[in-house]
Structure formats: structure tokens, C-alpha cells
Structure 1
Amino acid sequence: MENVAKTIDHSLLRPELTLDEVRAGCALAARYDVASVCVRPCDVPEAAALLRGTGVLVGTVAGFPHGDATTATKVAEARRAVADGAAEIDMVLNIGRLRSGDLTTVEADIRAVVDAVDGATVKVILENAYLTDAEKVAGCEAAERAGAHYVKTSTGFAPGGATMEDLRLMRAAVSPKVKIKAAGGVRTLDILLAMAAVGVTRFGATATAAILDDLASRS
């Protein structure tokens, strides 16, 4: 139970969430002892205060969900988040520049955020629904060159989310030191376990309670 729980980033990113809903989500994350909550940037101070001492990390997003903010804006978002208590940053790479073949800009954008956060974990969201397989591979390779710790499939706000095919492709595209995060459609324990079997070590999920309750019922 603990091993599976510590692969989950409980997602609290929907724009309409109230403060009470964010607080309830943090309480759920603490109760199940997941890896982290991934909250909106404005919620980082609240989440950090609520989860201090629990062992549940606070993560947030930069350049979310479209990836088209300037590098300076992403850097400022990431620095502010770390100052507010975030330990992990899920940044969206510049999707349009990746599709244009401008890998120099894509890599520099990622590296600037990695360099700005002074050792915090950086996960790079590719948003695979908009990319060809070649672009997915190029994005993963750029993220590794830039020093990112994870490559991630999706924001959860695009037309498609994580697929087994994409996860296998991403795992093959980076070295073992770069980890894989699946997000978008991770709604059941069986899906999570199947993805873990191909090398995924972190999952963005809103169905955290259902997944872990199912696991408890099987043990």
C-alpha cells in the first residue's frame, strides 16, 4: 500500500476548485500518505502549511497548461513556488517551438527552470496529444539534456492523456536517470499497475482514493 501510494501525485489543478476543496484534497493526500499534492501556484503556501511534517511533498506547475509563457515567466513562477514551499515543479515545455523543430529554444527554456529552482525536482510535461512520435522523442531528449528529473505525458487538460504506447516510447527515449510520470486518464488501480510495469514511477491522479481503496480491498 505504501509503495503504491508513494507513486501518486494527488492532482488539485482544476481552475474552479475552492479553498475548501484544496484543503480537503490536502487532507486526503495526508491520510493516504501519497508522494505529493500538485496544486495551483496560488495554493502552494496553503498546501505547504497544511502538509508540513506529514511526509507529503507539495508540487505545483509552471507555464501551465499551454507551455507558451516566456521563459522568464516560467522561471519567476518556479522560483516563487519554491520560495512558497514547493519541492516539485511540473513545467510545460514550449509545445509550439517543439513542433516547429526549434529544439534549442525548447532545451534552453527547460534548463532555465531547472537552474532556477536550486535542486527542486523538475518534471517536464510534453503534452503528447499534440505531438508526433518523433516530436515526443525529441522533447524527452531535450528535457534530459536540460537536466530535468522526469518527463511527463500530459497536463490532463488536452484532448488525450497517457497511453501505454507513449509511455513505452518515452521510457526508451531517456536514460535510466530520468523518470517517467503518467498523467491524464490514470483512474484505476489496474491502469496504474500496467503503467508501472513499463517503467512509470509517478502518476498524476484525481482518483487517488478510489485507486488506493481498491488496493486495500485486494490485500
Structure 2
Amino acid sequence: MIISHYLDATYLKTAIQAGITEKENLEKVVALTKEAINYDYKLVMIRSNYITTAKKIISISGAKVLIGTVIDFPCGNASLKQKIQEAEKAIKLGADELDFVVNYNAFKKGNIDMVTEEVTCCIALCLRHHKIAKFIIEAAALSNEEIIVISQLMKQIVLENFGEENAENVFVKSSTGFFKTEREMPNGATFENIMLISKNAKPLKIKAAGGVRDYETALKMIALGADRIGTSSSKEIINKEQHTNQSY
């Protein structure tokens, strides 16, 4: 297993969130993109306004690193029309993969029809443009039962509307990493929720994201069914893998 090929190297903070200038934030994106090229990561996950810069760097290098971006991030409560417009813009800019935040609050309120329409339309858009669609369910906001139900819903939407042949083009993703939990509870991927998602969403792909910061955790997430790891600690994971392999 080459763990770098599982990694979506991630930087999603705005300049305001990072407490730095826009120029400094752009420099972080450029550095991450170059790191992704050097370490052969699967993908670099960035805000859409940085896609053009990252794409140019990757193109010049001749690398095969993909570019991903987030849609309706991090709250997921925009209208379907707004989600589609944002996704279409990202596709035009050159994004290869789109990580949509599902309207998990609507789901929690029982508005399954709204969520079904949203997910169906977003998948259709991505498949039409030969892009990968990922759906962030924000597991930290859900109970175990809700994680099971929404994972099964995602699987049902894909299999009934797009066929099993497209299951590999749709991911269920655990978390934004930006959700604020009470009592300092985990706000990202946990072993338990990845196990639940994997058990109920397969044959769809699974992305563990939020709080995966070390090699051992990444390995266990993969063992539990994760096909991709979203992390801001890609370099640390790779360095530990190399150190571990050299120890044998």
C-alpha cells in the first residue's frame, strides 16, 4: 500500500480564519500544492478561489495530483440552486473532485426529500462533467443511528439513480473538521463513525476527514474501509511511514 495515494492534502482556511493576509494564505496554498507534487499525494483540497493557481503549478510540473474543492462549506444549508451554481463555477475553474456539505440539518429534521433531491442533482452534475462527487455528512452532528440512515440513503440514491457502476465516483465523507461540538467531543472522523459509514454506504467510496493527524490513525481508518484520507497533516503521515519502513 502506498499511503500517499490515499491522501487528500487539505488547507481550507480563509485568510480571515487563519488570521493572516490574503497573500500569506495564497502562499500556504502554493506550498501545499508543491508538497503534494513532491510527495505524490492523490489530491490537494483547497478553496475554489485558489484552483487556478494550483492547477497551473501542477500542470507545469507534469504531476498527476488532482485538485479538489468544497461546496457550501462548512454549513451545508445553502439552497440547491446555490450549491449547483457554486459547483458549476468550481468545475469551470478546473476542479477534479467536489466535496459537498450535505444539508445535514434538514436531514436531522426529517426532510429526506430535500436531501435526496440535493444529492441526486449534485451527483448528476458531477457525473455529467466526469468529476468525483463527495458528500460530507458532518458525522459529529449526527447520532449513530442518523449516520447509519444517511449512509444508507446515499447508497440508495446512487444505486437506484446512477447504477452500481458509478458507485466508485461517489464518496460519503465524515466531516468538515469545522463543526463545533459540545464538551470538546471529537468533531471529525472517529473509528466508530468510519466503521458505521463503511458498513452502510459501501459500495460507495468512503473518505475519513477531520482530525486524522498521524500515520497509525490513517492506517486504521483505511483498515476500517476508508478509501481516502482528508488531512492537514499529510507530510507528518508520510514522514512517519518512511521512518517506519526504514526501521524494518
Q: In which range does the TM-score fall when normalised by the shorter chain?
A: over 0.9
Moved more, 158-167 or 110-119: 110-119
Query: Is it true that 1:135 corresponds to 2:146 in the alignment?
Result: yes
Structure 2, unaligned stretches of length 5 or more?
19-24, 159-168, 182-186
Query: Is it true that 1:57 corresponds to 2:66 in the alignment?
Result: yes
| Superposed displacement of residue 144, structure 1 | 2.4
Does the 8 Å contact 1:9/1:38 carry over to 2? yes
Counterparts of 1:182-197 in structure 2, within 5 Å, are 182-197=208-223
Counterpart of 1:19 in structure 2 is: 26
Q: RMSD across aligned C-alpha pairs, in angstroms?
A: 1.3
Query: Is it true that 1:215 corresponds to 2:222 in the alignment?
Result: no
Structure with bigger gyration radius: 2
Structure 1, unaligned stretches of length 5 or more?
none
Task: Report the Cα distance in structure 2 between the residues aligned to 1:113 and 1:49, rounded to whole angstroms.
Answer: 26
The 1:48/1:145 distance shift into structure 2, 3 A limit, reads: farther
Counterpart of 1:166 in structure 2 is: 193
SS at match of 1:6: helix
Does the 8 Å contact 1:162/1:186 carry over to 2? yes
TM-score by length of 2: 0.84
Task: Report the Cα distance in structure 2 between the residues aligned to 1:44 and 1:71, rounded to whole angstroms.
Answer: 22
- Render the CA deviation track for 1:112-136: whole Å, top value 9, x for unaligned: 1111222210010000111112211
Tell me the number of residue pairs that the alignment of Structure 1 and Structure 2 aligns. 217
Instruction: Give 4+ residue runs of structure 1 displaced > 4 Å after superposition.
Output: none
Task: Report the Cα distance in structure 1 between the residues aligned to 2:64 and 2:99, rounded to whole angstroms.
Answer: 19
Q: Which amino acid aligns with 2:135?
A: V
| Superposed displacement of residue 51, structure 1 | 1.4
Query: Is it true that 1:152 corresponds to 2:151 in the alignment?
Result: no
The structure with the greater share of residues assigned to helix is 2
Task: Report the Cα distance in structure 2 between the residues aligned to 1:138 and 1:107, rounded to whole angstroms.
Answer: 12
| Superposed displacement of residue 111, structure 1 | 1.2
Counterpart of 1:7 in structure 2 is: 6
Does the 8 Å contact 1:124/1:152 carry over to 2? yes
